[in-house]
Each structure stands twice: as C-alpha cells, then as structure tokens.
Structure 1
C-alpha cells in the first residue's frame, strides 16, 4: 500500500524536487502517464497549511520566472465568487446562524454543485488563460461542502487534457486492489479518485 500524507513541500529538498518535476519537459508534455489523465495530487500535513501556502506562492513565482504559464486557483475564492455573482453570498452569511448546520450544508452542496457551477467556473478561466498548468488549492477551506473527488471527477470530464496539480491537505492512499483514496485532514471519507498520480513519485 502506498500511503503518503506529507513529504514536506516547505523543506528545501522536497521543494526543489517538485520544482524540477514541474519544469521538466516530460511533465509539461504529459509523458509517462500510461492510461492516466494528467492529474496530480500533492498531499501534505494540514498542520503545515501556512508553510505550504508560502511554499506554493514561491513555487508559482519560480515557474512564472521560467515562462511556465500557471493558473493558480484557490477553490474557496472560486466558490465565493460564484456565490457573489449569483447574489447568494450575503444572504447565506445572514442565514448561517439561523438554520440548522445540516440544512446549511445541504444548501451549499446545491448552490456549489461541482458539475453545475464549480467546474464550469474553473473551465471558463481555463479557456480565458489557457495555462500550461492548473494549480488547485483551498480544498480544506471548502470541506465538506465541496469534496475533492467530486471536483476532480467532474473536472476530468470537462478538461481531461489539462495538466492539473491539486494541493491536498490530507492522506493520499493507493492500493492496486482499490485504487486511490483521498482523505482530507486524515479523516476516513472513502473518497475515491482513481486517475490521479502523486506528483512527488513522478519520474523525470
């Protein structure tokens, strides 16, 4: 079983390894994927959120300096933009204290449905920017009303050829029998996404 929660990106060795992978011609040309889609997971310890955010910002700057076009999306910001555009943000903030938590969660699940709203919003930005690499973060901020496996499953249907790296605050587990499992914050959710690769195990 391949179980990885953190090879700390904030450490210089791991950061340089990640940068080397993402700058490589093999990665950018999507080679060595066999039957997999160009979707990658970077799992990390949720306790290192601040450090990982800082490292990700540096990573983006280093990639841009090498003329690698990056679309860096925080899913929380995308969700907030969707709600504001639909005139729901302020209304939801007002109602949050008045309704049951389960009802509030159900409402968010509906208005931020990945297939209907979230993925189309991401695809719109992809079409406008046409980046070489899409970076996704903020997964912990939108849990549990947006689930990473649902986001990735719907995104692969809409943008199957888009080179994508998701920064994931939790455990990425892979077994040949059951495939890949994503457990945000280390919580056992049984969220399965079979067609993603741990980027730190990608050979360049």
Structure 2
C-alpha cells in the first residue's frame, strides 16, 4: 500500500528515490518478486506535468551513466508511429470533423489497440534493443486517454514481457489495498478499478 510519506514526496524527490531503487541490484535482478510479474508504477502529481519531462530525461541519463541498459519508450510517440504507418493519417485528421466523435475515436483507437498493436510493438522494441535492456520505462500514457487506458497496456504486456522490470510513469495515484485490489487514478480524477499485478516503485526503498 502506498504510504503517506511516498505520496507526499515532491517531484524531484520522487525521481531521486526512483533512481536509487532502479539502480539497485535487487531491483534489476527482481529479487523478492517470486510469483509476481516485475511491473512497477512511478506515480506523480498531475500538476507536476510541465516538469516531468526534464526529471524523466535526467533519470534515464543517470541510469545509463551508471551502465544500466534502459529501454525508454514514449507511448504517445509510439502511438503516433502506428497512426502514421497506416499511410492515411493526414487524410484521417483532415476528415475528423466529418465523423461523429465516438466513431472517430473508435477508429483511431483501433489502430493503437494494446492487445493487437501497441503492446506487441513495445515487445519488439525491447527485444530489438542491443545490448538487451535491464529495465523498461513507459511514459506519456496520460496523453493516450481515453483511447487507451494504462491498466490495459499493463495487462496485455504481461504475457509478452515478464522477464525484466517495467516501470510505468503515471500522472496520478496508484492506490493499493489488500481488500479492494488496486486502481490507477489517472490525473487523480479518473479511477480505473481493474486489478493489476504491479508494485509502487517508491515503496521498494522501504521494503
């Protein structure tokens, strides 16, 4: 369960703790996660969004300077690559006003379906990186809402990638309860009550 201490940390302190956790051998070797997939959530306050990019870049740079192989994936950029790959993306955008909003959303959402396209592409990126990554960072999931939800990406990735740590950088709160399961609260407003087998990254330093 997320403690009040980790939930109250300012942005720079959150990423500093994330750095300490992610560079530790116990994290990279996934010790203590027997029987669980090594998926983690690095949550931050939505109000800190303007500064997250710089902190994220600094985190990746520090890990790589330490010799840790990081696969850094921007989910928004990945989605745009999938849309562009249709060869009709510009035409689709030009005709957006001609479609009902729900029809347009369904159409563009299908192109980045986590099960069919987004998660398999993430796996290919990870498997294609050499040297092999020791950790995967997923960012900008909030920009895909409501077309794609964070829990769907995690759930569809589990059968594809479960042998190295994956960290989802998340704008909101990750609530964990031993009785009610877990939920990702996007922007601290939109609750998704699905259960996912993930851990609060910042809590690992206290474990």
**Is the 1:9–1:52 contact (alpha carbons within 8 Å) kept by the matching residues of 2?**
no
1:137 aligns with 2:162: no
Q: Secondary structure at the match of 1:64?
A: helix
* Residues 102-150 of structure 1 deviation map (CA, whole Å, 9 limit, x = unaligned): 1111112212111111111111111111311110001111111011111
Counterpart Cα distance in 1 of 2:122 and 2:81: 11
Counterpart Cα distance in 2 of 1:7 and 1:118: 32
Counterpart Cα distance in 2 of 1:2 and 1:57: 25
Counterpart Cα distance in 2 of 1:161 and 1:145: 27
Q: Any gaps of 5 or more consecutive residues in structure 1?
A: none
Counterpart Cα distance in 2 of 1:42 and 1:96: 34
Q: Secondary structure at the match of 1:189?
A: strand
Counterpart Cα distance in 1 of 2:95 and 2:164: 37
Tell me what 1:202 maps to.
Answer: 204
RMSD, matched Cα: 1.9
Q: Secondary structure at the match of 1:121?
A: helix
Normalised TM-score (structure 1): 0.92
Q: Secondary structure at the match of 1:173?
A: strand
Counterpart Cα distance in 1 of 2:92 and 2:138: 25
Q: Any gaps of 5 or more consecutive residues in structure 2?
A: none
Tell me what 2:43 maps to.
Answer: 43
* Residues 9-47 of structure 1 deviation map (CA, whole Å, 9 limit, x = unaligned): 632x43332111111000000011243211000111111
Counterpart Cα distance in 2 of 1:149 and 1:29: 24
How many residue pairs align between the two structures? 203
Normalised TM-score (structure 2): 0.90
